[in-house]
Amino acid sequence: MALGCHSGIARWKERLPTTLALAGNPNVGKSSVFNWLTGMGVTTANYPGKTVEVNLATTHFKDREIGIMDLPGTYALGGVSEDQWVARQALLDADPDAVLVIVDATRLERNLYLPLQLLDLGLPVVVALNLIDEAWRRGLRIDHHRLSRLLGVPVVPTVAIRGQGLDQLVEMGCKTAQSPRLPPAAPRYGMDVEDAIGGLSDLLAKEGIALPHGLPPRAVAMLLLEEDEEFLAWARALPEGERILAKVAEAASSIAESHGEAAPLWIARERHGLAGAIAAQVQRRVHAPSKAQDRLWRLTTAPATGYPLLVLTLAGLFAFLFFVGNFLSDLLGGVWQAYASPLIRSVVQLAAGEGILAKTLLWGLDAGINAALSVGIPYVLTFYFLLSILEDTGYLNSIAFLTDPFMHKLGLHGRAAIPLVAGAGCNVPAIMGIRVLTTMRERILASTLVCLMPCSARTAVIAGAVSKYVGWGPAVGIYLIVAGIAFFAGWGLNRALPGHSAGLVMEMFPFRPPSLSKMLRCTWCRFRDFLFVATPVVLAGSFVLGAIYETGLLWAFTTPLAPVVEGWLGLPSVAGLTLVFAVLRKELALQLLVALAIAKYGAGVTDLLQFMDRGQIFTYTLVNTLYIPCIATVAVLAKELGWRRALGISAFTILLALAAGGIVHRLIA
């Protein structure tokens, strides 16, 4: 369930005695902590105009109900990207009783920046020193007691994927929440920076101004010095704004003159320096890290070896996907047709007879559910399990790093490669996967390319039409044409859309043996979204398609479609009807095409070659492959990007499909 973020967080917080927030970068195991603590009962919240979600959940710890707020994964809390903005805004709106910040023990000097920033905001913090087992394997020993003293906050070693230390983490979070709410000891920076902060803090305190979000004067002073737009706007609106901003400008100018850098850059440099100094004091190396992991990393990221390994990996994954998917599809479909379908038909006939209403009901209750079982569970669930293997082993980072140069040509970065790969299984979960991208521009680009990626339903049409009646060579040609169109579409959109691609910033997660329990939990969390979002839409589409077909309304669309279908694409009218209505159930395109052909040309029609030539079959399949995959994908696009963008992407793919189909028809006619 999705909520408006501010009101949703307020209602969620009101009914809970204790609320904890989870913060940390995207690759440090924060999602593992959230899933381990909360299970599956998750509510999502969105800020207006933002697509990055905040996950809200409740859990019980020692007979006490607590709320867990999972912030977007981020390395910092500035306004540089949407995820950073949402993470900070959610913290300020929710005012959690404690913030559990997850840091990578193997890269402490880089990961301490976020805890220091949280302390600068005056928030109560508990640090989870995650991946402590990996740090030991790499020869690092970290004195977490000393780290706790230096930061002035509790520090708990954890291994999130196995749940180690998480009970202690929550217990420490609850203790922090129950303690008197005193401002934590703030990090101390260079003398000139502290003088500037102190002067501004004193001015804000003397003025007696109500500070935003109840922040302490020191936190507001730092944000003003860092030129935070939200807090500068707040200051401008004050009656005393000119005096405050003049003091800010004076302090910032003093820092810039002393160090030759703008105040925001120097403060960030000071924070990074302090993080490095603290890390150096609490960690020591007892032996050199294993060279095997470094060799494996080089093999998977160097172009000479990485690309062949990637091709082999993807080939193996898809072979497994289609082998297991086909097996499960045949198994579930066979069980449904043998046991459930006869029972449902009997009940429907008993309740509604054998008229139009009964036949329409069977389209949804029988064929619709069967389609969800035969496509959703076999292919989507299997793909998500494979994806969890890639994530848990760390190979997903290698793929992102390796494909980053190519993806930049399309206005994206390496993280976008994963949703594109997922799109070959099903476009619905692939669209959900674009949440890993940080800007709306990147999400629009990636969503458009995902929609052009042939999913398993469209692959079934290619195999059942082109490969069967035209040949395997032309079937491969369909994929090559689609790949070329997708590349040039991404290249063109990258130049047409305002803005630019963000760089790839990521921690290089170490290779490690996967955890089966974690993989199963992640697989189910993702598959649950597919079930709740896509399945109802597939069933609704089945009912609509059944009603249109059984009432004969389908034929009313023949005349208005004739100029495009018959004139431009050179296809028979029945083919045009299926191109329009197969969007409700894409995997039924061929079955619907044969059914309509029988209705129009007679019962003697048994295959496509009896009313279409090979060129028409090729054109028909190309158009069917290129345009928006199914109504479920449109629904998910609307959920992730909003209806205006979803309809815009749909219209774009339809125009591409029609243009490509018309050109191909004229080339092969």
pLDDT digits (tens, 9 = 90+) for 525-584: 777 766 776 677 667 777 877 787 788 787 788 888 889 999 999 998 888 888 887 787
Q: How confident is the model at residue 513 (pLDDT cuts 50, 70, 90)?
A: confident
> Which pLDDT belongs to residue 45?
47
Residue 345 clears pLDDT 70, i.e. is over it: yes
Is pLDDT above 90 for 295?
no
**The pLDDT of residue 515 is above 80:** no
Residues 595-640: tens digit of each pLDDT: 677 667 765 666 788 888 899 999 999 999 998 878 888 888 988 8
- How many residues appear in the chain? 669
Mean pLDDT over 183-188 rounds to 77
Higher-scoring residue by pLDDT: 388, 274:
274
Give per-residue burial for 178-198: e unless 16+ CB within 10 Å, then b. eeeeeebebbebbebbeebbe
How many Å apart are CA 629 and CA 49, to the nearest integer? 26
| Residue-range domains of the chain with CATH | 2-178 (3.40.50.300), 191-260 (no CATH), 304-501+519-668 (no CATH)
Q: Say yes or no to pLDDT of 269 above 90.
A: yes
- Give the pLDDT confidence score for residue 661 in this predicted structure: 94
Does residue 667 carry a pLDDT above 50? yes
Please give the C-alpha separations between residue 326 and each of 137, 375, 380, 466, 589, in angstroms, as whole numbers: 41, 9, 12, 19, 19
Query: Between the ranges 3-7, 156-160, 574-578, 600-604, where is the mean pLDDT highest?
Result: 156-160
Could you tell me which residue, 40 or 280, shows the higher pLDDT?
Answer: 280
Range ranked top by mean pLDDT from 188-192, 498-502, 507-511: 188-192
Mean pLDDT of the chain: 82
Q: Output the DSSP codes for 128-160.
A: EEE-HHHHHHTTEEE-HHHHHHHHTS-EEE-BG
Sign of the torsion formed by the C-alpha atoms of 208, 212, 214 and 218:
negative
Residue 253 has pLDDT above 90, yes or no: yes
Q: Is residue 564 packed enough to be buried (19+ CB in 10 Å), middle (13-18) or exposed (0-12)?
A: middle
In one-letter notation, the amino acid at residue 571 is L
CA dihedral 620, 431, 49, 123 (to 10 degrees): -170
3-state secondary structure of 1: coil
Whether the per-residue pLDDT at 518 is higher than 90: the answer is: no
- Give the angle subtended at the CA of 43 by the CAs of 38 and 44, to the nearest 5°: 120
Where does the pLDDT of residue 453 fall: very low under 50, low under 70, confident under 90, or very high at 90 and above? confident
Please write the tens of the pLDDT for every residue from 12-24: 677 688 889 999 8
Question: What's the rounded mean pLDDT across residues 518-527?
Answer: 76
Q: Which of 288-302, 458-472, 496-510 has the lowest mean pLDDT?
A: 496-510
The Cα 591–Cα 597 span in angstroms is 10
Is there a contact between 450 and 598 (Cβ–Cβ < 8 Å)?
no
Which tokens sit at 10?
């307020």
Confidence of residue 209 (pLDDT cuts 50, 70, 90): confident
- Rounded to whole angstroms, the Cα distance separating 9 from 196 reads 35
Nearest Cα to 593, choosing from 375, 581, 626, 361? 581
Contact (CB, 8 A) for 422 and 387: yes
Give 425 or 152, the one with higher predicted confidence: 152
